[in-house]
Amino acid sequence: MSGFNLMEDKLTNAQIAWRAAQDLEDGSYVNLGIGFPEMIAKFQPEGREVTYHTENGVLGFGKAPAPGEEDWDLINAGKKAITLNPGASFFHHADSFSMVRGGHLDLAVLGAYQVAQNGDLANWRVGSKGVPAVGGAMDLVHGAKRVAVVTDHVTKDGGPKLVETCTFPLTGVGCVTRVYTSLAVIDIADGRFVLREKLPGISMAALQAVTGATLHTEGEVGDLVVLEDI
Amino acid sequence: MNKVSSSVADAVAAIPDGAQIMIGGFGGSGAPVELIHALIDRFRATGSPKAITIINNNAGNGGIGIAAMIRAGMVRKIICSFPRSSNAEAFNEKYLAGEIELELVPQGTLAERIRAAGAGIPAFYTPTSFGTELAEGKPTEEFDGKMYVRERWLKADFALIKGQKGDHAGNLTYRLAGRNFNPLMAMAADTTIAQVAELGEPGTIDPEHVVTPGIFVDMVVEVPAPEQEEVLVRKGVIY
């Protein structure tokens, strides 16, 4: 596709987060993974009530406190200081992960190194070097009604992150239901990537060329439209 | 019944070499800093307890608490979910040098293994880690069309935990997100030692507000105005 520069014209992380936020459902319970996924809360659409869960035992937390106002006994799973919204609650870790695995969350959003067409996710380690750390990632991929991923469409070297089979160590098997990337919105259904939206500037052929497995379509592919100035 | 211990030093005096110890807290929230430091004081004075196995979500931060235990050379093994924190140099150095053992457990599995031990349930099935390297060698079974991994209970000889209010009978409340693993660990250890910021006669905590009932607690020691681990780490304090 002439005129589309993959590295310059792709969405920023903020724009990907904004797009993912448009799918937050009113009245839902949501866990946003540490780092990039946390940004989604900033773009929660007005008029929708969302209750955020964090693994270390808080439901209903709000924005970060002002600098200097932190109480370090009140943190999220990323060890960042948080505040409480009215109606918040505390609970111990076993109850917290009962909320996760027990099917009580509506949505969990995670980052990814690789997502496979069957929904396998690799997001916790890339090799055998260094200190391994898993945290709650392997739990969070089980139980939520929807498990979404936010990610760049390609690696820093331009290689595909959406693949036929993950080559990095798995976090979970067949768990991801939707992927929001820097180029497209893709569902995972029946072991296939189903393209729902793509940036209007990129051709199907160009998008397929940077995707490691076949992109299927069911009906019309929508335009991935986001705010420009975020 | 009076479970009050007069000092943190007395409270940890009976912990032997080779003990498996659960330590409450998630990052710096809910970490029993004074009990940990009392254990380090004893090790420095007597060379004991050594060869400790620690069960915690993390593997210590900065130069205080669990990180200081590791630096002191008291720790043989850590069972945790996330050792790779931003200030985890103490663990990282020992681990990469092959001087400390690590058992990595997914966070929810860690919590449930501890809960199961406290509840007398020797094993359970969870979807977590199925198909991953952390499930290698573990039995699996299909239930209603989905695959699950069998995990065992996780017990300890001692639990060191941090409460907010406590009474002489061992009833406890917690502060904010400092609850985390503390109530689970209280159930899962042979001997549970709790430090609390406020200690009172039985009846000072409304029974409706008790989070950990005293049956799970063996010793309670008052530490007014306790140190907060994250605050110490940010100040760069080395113990």
We report the CATH number of the domain holding residue A195 as 3.40.1080.10
Compare CB distances from A72 to B28, B84, B181 and report the shortest one's residue. B28
| Residue A188 within any structural domain of the chain | yes
| Residues A144-154 pLDDT 10s | 999 999 999 99
| Residue A97 within any structural domain of the chain | yes
- Percentage of chain B surpassing pLDDT 70? 100
Judge whether A33 is closer than 8 Å to chain B, CB to CB.
no
The Cα diameter of chain A in Å comes to 55
CATH number assigned to the domain comprising residue B46: 3.40.1080.10
- A185–chain B nearest CA distance, Å: 26
| Residue A145 within any structural domain of the chain | yes
Mean pLDDT calculated for residue range B209-219? 98
A41 in Cβ contact with A52 (< 8 Å): yes
Which of A179, A190, A126, A185 minimizes the C-alpha distance to A157? A126
Looking at residue A16, what is its pLDDT?
Answer: 98
Instruction: Read off the amino acid at residue A54.
Output: T
Active site residue A55: yes
Domain count for chain A, please give it: 1
- B187–chain A nearest CA distance, Å: 12
Domain that holds residue A104: 6-223
Block residue for tokens 């903020």: A14
Mean pLDDT calculated for residue range A47-59? 98
| Residues of chain A found within 8 Å of residue B28, distances taken between Cβ atoms | 72, 75, 79
Mean pLDDT calculated for residue range A110-137? 93
Determine, for residues A170 and B109 on separate chains, whether the beta-carbon distance falls below 8 Å: no
**Helix, coil or strand: residue B119:** helix
| Residues B38-85 pLDDT 10s | 999 999 999 999 999 999 999 999 999 999 999 999 999 999 999 988
| Residue B142 within any structural domain of the chain | no
Whether the predicted pLDDT of B34 surpasses 50: yes
Tell me which residues of chain A, numbers 96 to 125, contact chain B at a CB-CB cutoff of 8 Å. Answer: 96-97, 100-101, 120
Judge whether A67 is closer than 8 Å to chain B, CB to CB.
no
| Residue A230 within any structural domain of the chain | no
**Helix, coil or strand: residue B80:** strand
Looking at residue A1, what is its pLDDT?
Answer: 44
Residue B175 tokens read as 């502060």
Determine, for residues A56 and B180 on separate chains, whether the beta-carbon distance falls below 8 Å: yes
Q: Which residue of B has its CA nearest to A137?
A: B106
Which DSSP helix (H) or strand (E) runs through B46?
helix B33-46
Judge whether B129 is closer than 8 Å to chain A, CB to CB.
yes
Whether the predicted pLDDT of A155 surpasses 90: yes
Test mutation, A138, A168, A170, chain B, max B CBs within 10 A: A138
Domain count for chain B, please give it: 1
Test mutation, B23, B80, B176, B211, chain A, max A CBs within 10 A: B176
**How many residues comprise chain B?**
239
| Residues B171-203 pLDDT 10s | 999 999 999 999 999 999 999 999 999 999 999
Looking at residue A2, what is its pLDDT?
Answer: 56
| Residues A1-41 pLDDT 10s | 457 888 889 999 999 999 999 999 999 999 999 999 999 99
| Residue A105 within any structural domain of the chain | yes
Residue B58 tokens read as 């993390």
- B163–chain A nearest CA distance, Å: 12
| Residue B112 within any structural domain of the chain | no
Compare CB distances from B83 to A133, A137, A172 and report the shortest one's residue. A133
- Percentage of chain B surpassing pLDDT 90? 97
| Residue B139 within any structural domain of the chain | no
| Residue B206 within any structural domain of the chain | yes
- B20–chain A nearest CA distance, Å: 20
Whether the predicted pLDDT of A166 surpasses 90: yes
Judge whether A92 is closer than 8 Å to chain B, CB to CB.
yes
| Residues A195-217 pLDDT 10s | 999 999 999 999 999 999 999 99
Compare CB distances from B231 to A72, A132, A142 and report the shortest one's residue. A72
Domain that holds residue B30: 8-105+154-230
| Residue B237 within any structural domain of the chain | no
| Residue B221 within any structural domain of the chain | yes
Give the ipTM of the model, two decimals please.
Answer: 0.96
Compare CB distances from B92 to A90, A131, A139 and report the shortest one's residue. A131
| Residues A170-189 pLDDT 10s | 999 999 999 999 999 999 99
| Residues B113-126 pLDDT 10s | 999 999 999 999 99
| Residue B111 within any structural domain of the chain | no
| Residues B124-158 pLDDT 10s | 999 999 999 999 999 999 999 999 999 999 999 99
Test mutation, B129, B174, B211, chain A, max A CBs within 10 A: B129
Q: Which residue of A has its CA nearest to B59?
A: A133
Determine, for residues B81 and A136 on separate chains, whether the beta-carbon distance falls below 8 Å: yes
| Residues A55-93 pLDDT 10s | 999 999 999 999 999 999 999 999 999 999 999 999 999
Looking at residue A128, what is its pLDDT?
Answer: 77
Looking at residue B114, what is its pLDDT?
Answer: 98
Determine, for residues A131 and B183 on separate chains, whether the beta-carbon distance falls below 8 Å: no
Residue A225 tokens read as 């439209």
| Residues of chain A found within 8 Å of residue B185, distances taken between Cβ atoms | none
